[in-house]
């Protein structure tokens, strides 16, 4: 396979290339554009014109520099061994193959896909999506030899993308519905994926029926099909081994897999916990589950489409930096949206707090993600989860939780957190000591004037990039 006829280089070495706003010629898809998608379909051989690239809408050279445009990428493939279950796995390779091109940055998947073409690539002559289509077709056939024929269609016209976009959404929904039809107990094999190791070298997804891949693109069915046709590929079998902790979802086979694939960096994983030995996160997660220490045991969920900040004052991008990179980060977990409605969702954390399940730890969700999962959430909790329309910051959250009688308020952790804050305030007034809590910044002051300082941390998990210790003048005692 050669790309000598292309004006830019193509190869895995370019994966991870970043194209900043001032370096980009145009942006395709992404948060500024309403409808965009990427989809792979398996077709009969007679329906494919091998090597053909269609473009419906303006080409790169017709676009205005610095602007954003819709992008739909439809890859149609055929081959005697292909089956529909492979579509999602092939679709995930769009991300990888686009990133092989020097001068293209591709992020996300499905209907959140987001690409940038660099000015440098455009100036070298990479000025047509015909070229990208040809590159994709060559890569698909070379890297996945079971694909015998391939054709690609790009949609950049804002009107003409509407119909294929709706079809794509319907297909994603059908895949997700099927993925929800089985549970971890029904299978004797899990699957792993290391496609994101070029960005996050210690990350490997463990894909189970109840825990879809973080990117939301690969279900257990999809992973099984991929591992069957290419057992030495990036998706592989993970024998479960012995179950060490049913509630946490700890399996010897999963621990062995993560230890090997993270090169010894990660020793074990609790599949159903966001707080203890959580699954690693790469950077492709659809949403983030984050701990809210001010609620003792409560969590929030924000997804990529959320505009503005979450309840803790942080935008998705800031929390994504904290979460991703292949780290095991208790309190910040990259998740798929499907996992939120799984019966195993952070079950270990919820049950350990005396709740009925992990979903009952959720006290806040961004509106966009809540709308996506609302119908699938348990009826007794869905209207008790606040959004940015119900509370604007953490100070308003306890009043909301108590008004709707969210089950979190019955947990010991909540009572200690909320009561603890009041107690600490009392203590401050009496003794001049305090331990404030927060997720954005945290100050641990000393006891003014008396020398030394006192810090009391109970059941505490702390994540901090920096800690500032300042001297604070003592307050006067209450009369």
Number of residues that bind ligand SF4 (CB under 6 A): 13
Residue 215 lies near ligand SF4 (rule: CB under 6 A): yes
Residue pair 455/475 in contact by the 8 Å Cβ criterion = no
Query: Shortest Cβ distance from residue 472 to ligand SF4 (Å)?
Result: 45
The overall longest dimension of the chain from CA atoms, in Å, is 89
- Residue choice 205, 311, 337, 433 for contact with ligand SF4 (CB under 6 A): 205
Residue 284 lies near ligand SF4 (rule: CB under 6 A): yes
Residue 193 lies near ligand SF4 (rule: CB under 6 A): yes
Residue 214 lies near ligand SF4 (rule: CB under 6 A): yes
Q: Report residue 113 as tokens.
A: 């896909």
Between 126 and 272, whose beta carbon lies closer to ligand SF4?
Answer: 272
- Residue choice 147, 196, 297, 301 for contact with ligand SF4 (CB under 6 A): 196
Between 104 and 282, whose beta carbon lies closer to ligand SF4?
Answer: 282
Query: Shortest Cβ distance from residue 13 to ligand SF4 (Å)?
Result: 19
- What SS3 class is residue 58? coil
- Residue choice 113, 208, 213, 333 for contact with ligand SF4 (CB under 6 A): 213
Between 60 and 269, whose beta carbon lies closer to ligand SF4?
Answer: 269
User: Strand ranges (DSSP E) for 67-216?
Assistant: 68-69, 72-78, 104-107, 114-118, 149-155, 189-193, 205-207
Query: Shortest Cβ distance from residue 139 to ligand SF4 (Å)?
Result: 16
- Which residue blocks in 70-116 are alpha helix, DSSP H? 87-99
Q: Can you tell me the distance from the alpha carbon of 132 to that of 139, in angstroms, rounded to the nearest whole number?
A: 11
**Contacts for 155 with CB less than 8 Å, ≥ 6 apart:** 56, 57, 70, 71, 72, 74, 161, 164, 165
Residue pair 432/446 in contact by the 8 Å Cβ criterion = no
- Residue choice 48, 282, 337, 377 for contact with ligand SF4 (CB under 6 A): 282
Strand order in the sheet with 104-107: 68-69, 24-29, 114-118, 104-107
Between 79 and 216, whose beta carbon lies closer to ligand SF4?
Answer: 216
The residues in 81-140 that bind ligand SF4, with binding defined as CB under 6 A, are 92
Binding region for ligand SF4 (CB under 6 A) out of 193-201, 340-348, 428-436, 444-452: 193-201
Positive or negative: CA dihedral 162, 163, 165, 170? positive
Site residues for ligand SF4 per CB under 6 A: 92, 193-196, 205, 213-215, 217-218, 282, 284
């Amino acid at each position: 396979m050669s790309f000598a006829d292309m004006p830019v280089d193509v190869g895995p070495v370019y994966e991870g290339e970043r194209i900043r706003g001032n370096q980009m010629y145009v942006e395709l898809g992404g948060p500024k554009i309403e409808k965009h998608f990427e989809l792979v379909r398996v077709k009969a051989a007679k329906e494919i014109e091998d090597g053909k690239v269609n473009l419906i809408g303006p080409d790169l050279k017709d676009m205005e520099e610095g602007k954003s445009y819709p992008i739909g990428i439809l890859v149609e493939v055929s081959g005697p061994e292909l089956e529909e279950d492979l579509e999602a796995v092939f679709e995930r390779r769009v991300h990888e193959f686009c990133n092989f091109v020097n001068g293209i940055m591709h992020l996300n998947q499905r209907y959140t896909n987001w690409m940038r073409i660099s000015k440098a690539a455009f100036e070298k002559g990479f000025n047509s999506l015909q070229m990208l289509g040809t590159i994709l077709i060559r890569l698909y056939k070379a890297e996945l030899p079971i694909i015998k024929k391939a054709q690609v269609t790009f949609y950049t016209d804002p009107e003409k993308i509407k119909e294929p976009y709706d079809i794509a959404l319907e297909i994603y929904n059908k895949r997700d519905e099927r993925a929800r039809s089985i549970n971890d107990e029904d299978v004797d094999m899990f699957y792993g994926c290391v496609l994101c190791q070029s960005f996050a070298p210690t990350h490997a997804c463990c894909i189970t029926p109840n825990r879809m891949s973080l990117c939301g693109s690969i279900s257990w069915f999809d992973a099984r099909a991929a591992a069957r046709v290419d057992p030495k590929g990036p998706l592989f079998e993970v024998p479960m081994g012995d179950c060490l902790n049913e509630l946490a979802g700890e399996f010897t086979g999963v621990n062995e897999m993560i230890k090997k694939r993270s090169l010894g960096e990660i020793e074990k994983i609790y599949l159903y916990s966001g707080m203890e030995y959580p699954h690693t996160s790469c950077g492709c997660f659809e949403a983030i589950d984050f701990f809210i220490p001010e609620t003792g045991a409560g969590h929030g969920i924000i997804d990529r489409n959320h505009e503005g900040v979450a309840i803790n004052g942080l935008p998705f991008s800031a929390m994504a930096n904290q979460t991703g990179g292949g780290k095991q980060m208790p309190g910040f977990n990259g998740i798929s949206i499907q996992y939120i409605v799984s019966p195993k969702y952070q079950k270990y954390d919820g049950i350990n707090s005396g709740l009925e399940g992990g979903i009952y730890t959720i006290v806040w969700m961004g509106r966009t993600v809540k709308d996506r999962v609302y119908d699938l959430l348990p009826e007794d909790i869905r209207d008790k989860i606040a959004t940015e329309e119900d509370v604007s910051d953490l100070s308003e959250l306890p009043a909301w939780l108590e008004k709707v009688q969210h089950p979190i308020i019955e947990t010991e952790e909540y009572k200690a957190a909320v009561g603890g804050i009041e107690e600490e305030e009392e203590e401050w007034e009496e003794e001049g000591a305090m331990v404030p809590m927060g997720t954005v910044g945290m100050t641990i002051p000393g006891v003014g004037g008396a020398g030394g300082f006192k810090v009391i941390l109970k059941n505490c998990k702390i994540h901090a990039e920096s800690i500032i210790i300042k001297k604070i003048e003592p307050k006067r005692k209450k009369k």
